[in-house]
């Protein structure tokens, strides 16, 4: 009797297994994206322009911004302030498909100027693209 019922459950089992695998892939991608965004915070806080550059996709696409203009802006920020701290929080990551995602997050950027810390709090929406070298920021900066 169990042998006769087994084939009816196979399609359902296949669907459940597929959903579990998709969920696991999505969570793994989100973990990699969180690591990318944490690396951005660290690169800014450590004045590490080389590390920051590696986080951007080669063909960064955003209205009126290129990869090079973003790098130039960061170079200027690092030169202007000797101490910078960046910390992101309140993240919401949405997978658009297997190679594109969007992250909405808040961040606090603190800079030390004129003997005092100044702080900027913002909310941003970043576009992310999965490349052969991992997830990269592809828009929203």
Q: What is the DSSP string of 80-120?
A: H-S-EEEEEEEEEEEESSSSEEEEEEEEEEEEEETTEEEEE
Q: How many CB atoms lie within 10 A of CB 52?
A: 21
| pLDDT of the residue at 1 | 45
Q: Is residue 42 part of a domain?
A: yes
Q: Is residue 64 part of a domain?
A: yes
Q: Is residue 13 part of a domain?
A: no
Q: Is residue 17 part of a domain?
A: no
Q: Is residue 6 part of a domain?
A: no
Number of domains making up the chain: 1
The enclosing domain of 115 has a CATH number of 3.10.450.50
Q: What is the pLDDT of residues 12-43, one digit of tens each?
A: 555 554 544 445 567 889 999 999 999 999 99
Q: Is residue 20 part of a domain?
A: no
Containing structural domain, residue 121: 30-139
**Weakly modelled stretches of the chain, pLDDT under 50:** 1-3, 17, 19-22
- pTM above 0.85? no
Q: Which CA distances in Å does 50 have to 11, 72, 85, 106, 140?
A: 50, 12, 17, 24, 20
Q: Is residue 15 part of a domain?
A: no
């Amino acid at each position: 009797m169990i042998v006769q019922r087994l084939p009816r459950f196979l399609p359902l089992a296949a669907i459940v297994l597929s959903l579990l695998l998709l969920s696991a892939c999505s969570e793994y991608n989100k973990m990699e994206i969180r690591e990318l965004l944490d690396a951005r915070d660290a690169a800014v806080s450590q004045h590490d322009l080389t590390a920051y550059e590696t986080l951007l996709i080669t063909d960064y696409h955003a209205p009126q911004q290129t990869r090079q203009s973003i790098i130039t802006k960061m170079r200027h920020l690092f030169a202007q302030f000797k101490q910078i701290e960046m910390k992101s929080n309140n993240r919401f990551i949405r997978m658009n498909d297997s190679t594109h995602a969007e992250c909405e997050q808040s961040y606090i950027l603190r800079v030390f100027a004129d003997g005092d810390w100044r702080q900027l709090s913002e909310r941003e929406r970043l576009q992310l693209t999965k490349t052969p070298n991992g997830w990269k920021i592809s828009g929203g900066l």
